Amino acid sequence: MTAQGNNLDPWYHHYADRTANLSASEVRALFAVASRPEVVSLAGGMPFVSALPQDRVGDTLDRVMRERGSVALQYGSGQGDPRLREQILEVMALEGIRGSADDVVVTTGSQHALELITKLFINPGDVVIAEGPSYVTAMVVFRSFQAQIEHADMDEFGLIPEALRRKIASLKADGKRIKFLYTIPTFSNPAGVTLTWERRLEILEICRSNDILVLEDNPYGLLYFDAPPPHALRSVDEDGVVYLGTFSKTLAPGFRVGWALAPHAIREKLILANEAAVLSPSSFSQLVISDYLATTDWKGQIDTFRGVYRERRDAMLQALDDYLPDLSWTVPNGGFYVWLTLPDRLDSKAMLPRAVTELVAYTPGTAFYADGSGKNKIRLSFCYPTPDFIREGIRRLTKVVNGELELLDTFAGTGQLDVVRQDLKYISPPPNIN
């Protein structure tokens, strides 16, 4: 008799094999805890949408419904609204990208574009090379299509070209099929580092010479603080790079509008895959964003976001310097994240329950490696909490780190702690901490 299921799911044995690779990311699992008002969340990368001009956004919504309501509420093109695709070219031009609106495919957020590209290219067992560390939900997508994820190391200057060469050579020697390199070269998630211009050129040449497609994910590129980053990889290579963009960070994630700029042949398949998945991206969201871009100083609004995030980045760096001066961390020139390195003997994932008890949340480094590396790493997000709450969150994190070290020292009998002690008297949090 064939088993029909298990005690929890009567359809367990009916699922496709690939569903075994579906799992909730560690970031998603944190949201239930991090959303509690008493917890200072340094975990999720939520944009500070309160910095948007709410009245102007409201005017845009009203105008779209008054003037184009019948279109906004109807099905649309599987490729996306033509006017919005032209406007997307203006956005990408700020990072040196030239293109045709015909090669832009609008998607339901850039995450959707990432899934569509993966669906088009990955067979079970195919290899995706990603930076180590890499975006956690990208790895969830790659696993869901039964890809083998291999990491190439990065440092404070981004992906290391020689590490990429070695990884490609090793995989080819093992007879593996490498389908693409996935990279966030500008203000990476989670490390916050930016690939230098010289390395961008070298990595593109490595991929060209090895016939490897580059998937460039760029959510944060316009959110720089001090100086603009190098131009996008796509600005150099139009045939070997698929570029993913989004309005989630420069406008608002609730609209769920992103896009892919792809070589012509890939574009054709992307449209078909988009239609198969969602029929058409939201006409309403597209028309709202198009009207916003046409009637609002959207470049000025991005500059406002830069100021907000720069202030919060500075608050986090200062708090780390004050409370955890013996540790090391990245210093991002944009984006949302700082990558913190703990003493080698600490495990950030094992430490998380203590952190939640102390009313602070972060994302463990293990979430950003396919092989479970990164135990002594932490991603800290500075985009959402106010500067005062960021400082309080780091103070609470210091208590967690010192408590873990004290516990290890007590059982190991090693004596002094590696981290300088601070005054860690508990402070009751204000009720409105976000």
What average pLDDT does the segment 179-196 reach?
A: 98
Residue 28: predicted pLDDT: 60
At 38 the pLDDT is 87
pLDDT band at 29 (very low <50, low <70, confident <90, very high): low
pLDDT band at 11 (very low <50, low <70, confident <90, very high): confident
Please give the Cα distance from 232 to 224 (Å, whole number): 13
Q: Please compute the mean of the pLDDT values over residues 71-85 and round it to a whole number.
A: 96
Average pLDDT value for residue range 22-43: 71
What number is the average pLDDT over the span 211-221? 98
Does residue 12 register a pLDDT over 70? yes
Task: Give the domains, in start order, of the chain with CATH numbers.
Answer: 19-51+300-408 (3.90.1150.10), 54-295 (3.40.640.10)
Which pair of structure tokens corresponds to residue 51?
């910095």
Give bridge partners of residue 183 from the DSSP assignment. Answer: 216
Read off the pLDDT of residues 109-129 as tens digits, 9 standing for 90 and up. Answer: 999 999 999 999 999 999 999
Give the predicted TM-score (pTM) of the model.
0.89
Averaged pLDDT, 75-90: 97
The per-residue pLDDT for range 298-317, each reduced to its tens digit, is 999 999 999 999 999 999 99
Q: Which of left, alpha, beta for 50 (phi over 0: left; psi -120 to 50: alpha)?
A: alpha
CA distance 219 to 246: 6
Is residue 295 scored above 70 in pLDDT?
yes
Cα gap 374→381, rounded to integer Å: 17
pLDDT of the residue at 103: 96
pLDDT in tens, 122-175: 999 999 999 999 999 999 999 999 999 999 999 999 999 999 999 999 999 999
* Cβ atoms < 10 Å from Cβ of 428: 7
Under a CB-based contact definition with an 8 Å cutoff, are residues 247 and 101 in contact? Answer: no
- pLDDT tops 70 at residue 100: yes
pLDDT of residue 25: 60
Q: How far apart are CA 228 and CA 230, in angstroms?
A: 7
Q: Which residue has the tokens 């792809």?
A: 262
Proportion of the chain above pLDDT 70, given as a percent: 90
Count of residues in the chain: 434
- For residues 380 and 337, the answer to whether their CB atoms sit within 8 Å is yes
pLDDT number for residue 431: 32
How far CA 73 is from CA of 53, 68, 86, 279, 287, in Å, comes to 24, 9, 21, 14, 10
Does residue 428 have a pLDDT over 60?
A: no
Instruction: Please report, for residues 58, 59, 62, 292, the alpha-carbon distance to residue 55 in angstroms, rounded to integers and kept in the order given.
Output: 5, 6, 10, 12
- Rounded to the nearest integer, the mean pLDDT of the chain is 91
* Contact by Cβ (8 Å): 361, 26: no
Q: What is the pLDDT of residues 370-400, one digit of tens each?
A: 999 999 999 999 999 999 999 999 999 999 9
- The pLDDT of residue 227 is 93
Closest to 404 (Cα-Cα) out of 356, 355, 362 = 355
Query: Exposed, middle or buried by CB within 10 Å (0-12, 13-18, 19+), for 86?
Result: middle
Specify the pLDDT at position 15. Answer: 82
Q: Does residue 374 come out as left (phi exceeding 0), alpha (psi in the -120 to 50 range) or beta?
A: left
Q: What angle do CA 234, 162, 113 make, to 5 degrees?
A: 35
Nearest to 393 by CA among 288, 319, 332, 299: 319
Using alpha carbons, select from 313, 300, 360, 295 the residue that is nearest to residue 41. 360
pLDDT grade for 36, boundaries at 50, 70 and 90: confident
Exposed/middle/buried for residue 47 (C-beta within 10 Å: 0-12, 13-18, 19+):
buried
Nearest to 184 by CA among 146, 228, 133, 122: 133
More confident position, 411 or 247: 247
DSSP secondary structure code for residue 94 in this structure: T
pLDDT over 90, % of the chain: 84
Asked if pLDDT for residue 430 goes beyond 60, the answer is no
For residues 96-112, b (16+ Cβ closer than 10 Å) or e, as one string? ebebebebbbbbbbbbb
Backbone φ and ψ of 32, nearest 5°: -60, -40
Q: What is the pLDDT of residue 143?
A: 95
CA 77 to CA 119: how far, in whole Å? 20
Residue in the block written with tokens 């495919």: 105
pLDDT given at position 37: 78
Spatial contact of 232 and 91, defined as CB atoms under 8 Å apart: no
Residue 111: name the closest of 223, 222, 259 by CA: 259
Give the whole-angstrom CA distance, residue 258 versus residue 112. 8
